[in-house]
Chains A and B, each alone.
Chain A
Amino acid sequence: MNQPFNILSRRSFLSHAGKLGLGAALASLTDVPLVVKRALAEGNIGLNGKKLLFIWLRGANDSLNSLIPVEDSAYNLTNRPNILIPKDSIDYSAVTGAMDFALSGNGLGTFDYANAIRTGNGFAAVHPSLKFLAPVYNAGDLALVHRVGYPKQSRSHFDSQNYWENGSPNNNVLKDGIFYRTLLESGLTSTSPLTGVTVQSALPLIMRGSAAAMTNLTDPTRYNLFGIPNSTSGNAKADSFLAVGNDSSFPSKKNRDFLQLQYENLENTLSIFAGINFTDKDPDAAGEPTSGDGNFFLDDENTDGDTPYYLFPTRNKKNGGAYLSGRNGDTDKYTVDTGAYGFFRNLKAASLILNGTSAIIAGTEFGGWDTHNNQGSATGSHANLLRRLGWSMYALQKFFKIYGKNGTNPLPGAQCSWDDLVIVTLSEFGRTSIQNSSGGTDHAEAGMMMVAGGGVRGVGKDGATSAILGCHPNDSIPWVTGQTGSMFGVSNRYLKRAYDYRSVLGRVIRDHLGATQGQLDRIIPGYADSGEKLQSGGTSSIDNTPIVGEPDILV
């Protein structure tokens, strides 16, 4: 396990240097158990061991080609001439309860199947690139929620991402994030140096706020500072004088409190992350991890009839079956595009942090979903993005089941089991039901969310016969088929919502992370307005649209 963060040692150094006064208040807190230091006495966020991992799909995923209403007659070549995912000859209306794990040909190639994959709910299918959802779905650990949106949906990326992140549709004034408020409600942010983490280029709005600093890592392998000379003692001297600078006072300016919080967060988290091995090296000729490799996480079963693959494809030689020696780039085998490596490095880091630290929420993102142009169908740019996403769900399930707390081969000090975790995907809206003249799709309304984790109410759990929500004509708010149906329910152009994203997140924040209803009403302001019907469902008073309320996604 990591050492407690080392403010004490750096402050002692400073004291030893002996010229300047010290603020000892922070140091006195470092060895007190978190529960004692908690500022609020409400709810269980951060105390019940439950954690959340989110993946932001920026640019707006074409949900109709992800969770496909394959039995809707309007999902056809007239509306989507270049991008339709074809049906197989199988009976998609058969209710099987399980998602097909498509094998064809010799049964060994992952991606030599190019048809819509049957989900078993009798109506919906998934894109062939999402094949690796099947093992997670069939284990009862995955729910897919279709027709997710919010009232008066904006079709601007920036507005809509703002609303998903600040948790307050059509509110451009609220400048802090839904997960930031969740963590603030934990009462731990003032005392625990690490509650929320993202691994991406910059801290997203969903984790931003003025009263506490969440941590963003751009490159975890570079999370240490230099001194001059760049030696052990030179660096210690530089760190100690950085602390002196942080203790200095100045007249108030717009960004000074913010900078102070972020600098302190940096100072306080340096040693925490120093305790995690974020390195990533090529495996040896046999494909085995080399000594000291921090990305040694192999599956515990074979894929494609091959050797066990690396869970996080971060480089060619860890990229599924395509680039292993002798495979000669066989892209029918499981593989991701090389542009995915950065995302998987970040996803791996977020997983290691949830598993190895006190962090309660971690997340990352990847873009490229704004497919206005030549998005492709079973193959192409959108298919490549979905491959990453499908494998992510599988890899995370395997990582936490093997290397998490209570796993079959847990990492030392593992703090997060698969049952402790819920994974959610976010994307700002769906895309037009009819393709445009450029072989792409434009901005539309409702989209799709994935919810995964050991505590998810998937098929076979708690009497569930399907975990596809919002994509069946028999739903409480039916999916209406045809050219005047749900796919054209808004302005005769766009998929109409049946769920509010806040109901999905609200359910997870309360029933998984442990917020009280009172806390949830503060975290998601819409919950406090009974007219919004976020919890119970009903007709939203904002735009008179019926919504389901909270989806039944947790056991």
Chain B
Amino acid sequence: MSGFATVLLLVATTTFAQVDTPPPTITSLVSSNGQQVIGFTPYPAANVVRLLASTNLADGFYTVTNGTSTNFTWFVPNPGPNAFYRLEIQPLTTNAQLATIALNRLAYGPTPKLLDELVYSNDPQAIQDWVNGQLAPDTIVENAANSHNGINEIEAKFATAATYISNTATEGPGTAHINDLRAWFVLHAVGADRQLLEVLSQFCENHFVTQYSKTYNYFTSFYNGVGNARERIAAELERREMERWRQVLLDPDGTFLDLLTVSAESPAMIIYLDTVNSRADGTRIPNENYARELLELFTMGVDNGYDQDDIVALSYAWAGWSVEMVETGDWNNPHAAKATTKLNAGDSSTAYTNLVGPWVLNFKNSRYRNTNIVVFPGKMVPARYGEPWVSKTYSDGTPGSYELDIPGRSGTAAMQSGYDALNHLANLPFTEEFISVKLCRLLVHDDFHHGYDFTDEEESPEEALVKQCMLAWENSVPKGKLRPVLSTIVNSELFHSQYTAFQKVKTPLEFAVSAIRALRFSTNNAAPDSFTADTDGYSISGATNQISATPSSAPLSRMGGMYLFERADPDGYPESSGGWISAGTLAERLRFAQSICIAIGQSGKTDAGNANIVDPVAFLQNRLPDTDWKDADKVADLFIGMLYPGEGQANLTQYRAAAVNFLNTSDSGTSSPFANLTVSTTANSTYDNRVRGLVGMLFTYQRFQEQ
């Protein structure tokens, strides 16, 4: 029998009343074979676990030095007389915890440079400055293009909205294909300084989802099903909406209404949700598809304040929103006529193949029915929202009523009906709630939902945060500014807590990009081709010189069909783990992780492609003194520190033991001390394979799936 066990959490950290981690407890204390075995509850981000003992409480406690801690159990050999025990856990510093959370949520994972600056520097101001910069991306200088030649090469192919996209050009603006855009996006996710801008760009793309191949299929009939033009136009329309969202995100006053308007005006959306051919003139029944998803997915959230009658009513507002090829000078005029300039002046054909001009948003007012539209008739904001939402006025002036009355219109003025709808929907409490919930799911964890009773007294931290976001939204000028909402989340106690850290699983995009970033360290002042890990972008998201909408061999495809700009269903790709993780997709993630670590020319490298590279030996030679290059403990600690900076060293003892053991084990499973190997950077040398194998192993572990 042993004495009483007590537990003490030592190190003082900033406490968060609602979201504190409970202190660890000693759960078992048994004597067995002459040693004390003391089990304790795991504690997140535990860096150091210390066991203290006292045989006489009056004499105080001493530190137990003759034991080992592994797997949340302390083994004390030869414990001597019965003693009181207590546990002391030192977690990561609050700065280190915040930094590792922020690098996983506001960025596509840590890089060695960011870990140096924000975690290992122990500079408390550095992480706060970095976070503030991410929230105001216009204040950060973007250097990504200086570190990767691919970015400028791809951007040279991008067009403007006024550009006529030809079938025959071989270079210059208007020649980008969808895989160029995908690679451009991946290169930014990997290398951008404005990381949160990249995260939010993908969020917009996924929230206001459109599908590249639906656009190019739409253009097939206009281009006789042949040639480059339809693929290039479809890719440009995807890029154009992305570019406009980024402008909103870079604008300190950018609002949700701005984002929503970009989406509504995007030809890609008009084609994707079938507004393009929708008509309400005469007795025609307009297409409901966009009206439904606008309410269900883009603004209010499913079953949140609307019904089928509202969908039908709203569908009339969008009849006429279409696309057209217009004269170059008319690119920004939605009421312009079809282009008349001939590609071949001698050819009288007015087929699109013989016309010159850009494809843009076009309002075809002959399809509009001149009738009053009443959406949400008599509907009142539910009591659960509380103040200010239940008693403020919305569109019709009656407190709490959110009925929208759109008057009868005709001609070009009828386009305003769509804008009336957007202006109304963008700042409804339902929308404020749903979008806040989605942002919290993106940045905090998956278990947020709409439908909270905001008037109840006992609110969860999740509900409280959503309400804070809605208040920030409501109180900003102009209403619905994005930055105050994002700032509310990022500066919340919940975001800073262990209830955010590693509570989410990475999407395929996040997994692949974070794996490249993890060891992406420049050996020459961030110059192109100077990194110990890198990608050409194409090898993650698509394929070079291919236009395939669904490039089957791209890692993102294999990890669960995450084709960028090509989601078929309008709900976007899932944010939560259940949609991504199963044995088959895990197999693909693990193969990717190993393949990027394999040396070029060796078996398995081409699985992830020669342009996805990780060179761990080059990395360790830049980071460790040469006397440590054969030290298994130092090498293991180096890579564990890069891949698992937020888990806490005391929680990583099993991974560390496995890592050291891996380094000291031959391929055939026999003992082969790492210290006896000859340091080599030659592909397939024992040393190179051993280190690459170690990093591949660490990438395949469960904790690397998390963010």
Contacts and interface: CB of A to CB of B under 8 A. Distances in A.
Chain A interface mostly:
loop
A443 B603 contact: no
B145 interface: no
Interface in A419-452: 434, 436-440, 442-443
Contacts of B654: 244, 247-249
A89 B34 CA distance: 94
B7 interface: no
A223 B603 contact: no
Contacts of B703: 250
A245 B292 contact: no
A203 interface: yes
A259 B705 contact: yes
Contacts of A37: none
B582 A238 contact: no
Contacts of A254: 445-447, 503-504
Nearest to A374: B277
Interface in A164-215: 172, 175, 198, 201-203, 205, 208, 213-215
Given A20-B657, A205-B578, A236-B669, A228 B584 contact: no
Given A255-B706, A437-B278, A215 B583 contact: yes
Nearest to B576: A255
A214 B582 contact: yes
B669 A16 contact: yes
Contacts of B383: none
A336 to B, nearest CB: 18
Interface in B102-136: none
A265 B582 CA distance: 8
A93 interface: no
Interface string B684-705: 1000010011001100111101
A265 B604 CA distance: 24
Nearest to B561: A201
Interface residues of B, number: 92
B685 to A, nearest CB: 10
A13 B658 contact: no
A263 B274 contact: no
A259 B581 CA distance: 8
Contact of A219 (B274, B445, B584): B584
Contacts of A238: 594, 693, 696-697, 700
5 contacts: A13-B669, A158-B296, A230-B603, A254-B504, A265-B583
Contacts of B588: 218-219, 222
A483 interface: no
Interface in B574-628: 574, 577-588, 590-591, 594-595, 597-598, 602-604, 607
Nearest to B593: A226
A227 B696 contact: yes
B583 A19 contact: no
Given A259-B705, A437-B285, A253 B503 contact: yes
Contact of A228 (B586, B657, B696): B696
Given A230-B603, A255-B505, A240 B285 contact: no
Contacts of B582: 198, 202-203, 213-216, 262, 265
Given A238-B700, A245-B700, A228 B287 contact: no
Interface stretch (B159-167, B187-195, B227-235, B659-667): B659-667
A270 B582 CA distance: 13
Interface in A363-384: 367-368, 372-374
What 7 A-B pairs come out closest when comparing CB atoms?
A230-B604, A201-B561, A216-B582, A203-B582, A251-B42, A248-B654, A228-B693
Contact of A242 (B44, B286, B447, B700): B700
A25 to B, nearest CB: 15
A266 B274 contact: no
B101 to A, nearest CB: 12
Contact of A226 (B284, B581, B591): B591
A277 interface: no
A545 interface: no
Nearest to B44: A251
Contacts of B284: 437
Contacts of A262: 581-583, 586
B598 A373 contact: no
Contacts of B603: 229-231
Given A215-B583, A234-B693, A434-B285, 7 more contacts: A156-B296, A156-B302, A218-B585, A228-B598, A230-B602, A245-B697, A437-B277
Nearest to A230: B604
A503 B181 CA distance: 48
Given A203-B578, A253-B706, A227 B285 contact: no
A67 interface: no
A92 B43 CA distance: 72
Contacts of B655: 245, 248
A87 interface: no
B578 A258 contact: yes
A259 B506 CA distance: 12
Nearest to A249: B71
Q: How large is the interface on A (under 10, 10 to 19, 20 to 34, 35 or more residues)?
A: 35 or more
**Residue from B603, B667, B692 whose CB has the most chain A CB atoms within 10 Å:** B667
**Residue from A16, A250, A265, A434 whose CB has the most chain B CB atoms within 10 Å:** A250
Interface of A: 13-14, 16-20, 58-59, 154-159, 172, 175, 198, 201-203, 205, 208, 213-220, 222-231, 233-234, 236-238, 240-242, 244-256, 258-260, 262-263, 265-266, 269-270, 367-368, 372-374, 434, 436-440, 442-443, 491
B604 A263 contact: no
A373 B287 contact: yes
Contacts of B570: 157
Contacts of B274: 372-373, 438, 440
Contacts of B280: 437
A242 B665 contact: no
Contacts of B577: 255, 258-259
Interface string B551-582: 00000001111000000111100100111111
B308 interface: yes
B230 to A, nearest CB: 16
**Residue from B72, B311, B504, B700 whose CB has the most chain A CB atoms within 10 Å:** B700
B240 interface: no
Contacts of A233: 667-669
B702 A260 contact: yes
A226 B693 CA distance: 10
Given A238-B594, A238-B700, A259-B702, A367 B568 contact: yes
B272 to A, nearest CB: 10
Contact of A249 (B43, B72, B278, B574): B72
Given A155-B308, A222-B591, A237-B669, A215 B584 contact: yes
Contacts of B700: 225, 238, 242, 245
A266 B700 CA distance: 12
B517 interface: no
B656 to A, nearest CB: 10
A250 B42 contact: yes
Contacts of A252: 42
A230 B586 CA distance: 18
A157 B583 CA distance: 26
Given A215-B584, A437-B278, A17 B661 contact: yes
A234 B689 CA distance: 9
Given A156-B296, A229-B689, A253-B502, A216 B658 contact: no
Given A202-B585, A227-B594, A256 B702 contact: yes
Contacts of B302: 156, 158-159, 172
Given A216-B585, A219-B558, A437-B277, A20 B661 contact: yes
A387 B561 CA distance: 24
A13 B505 CA distance: 31
Contacts of B597: 228
B327 interface: no
Contact of A218 (B504, B558, B701): B558
Contacts of A222: 558, 587-588, 591
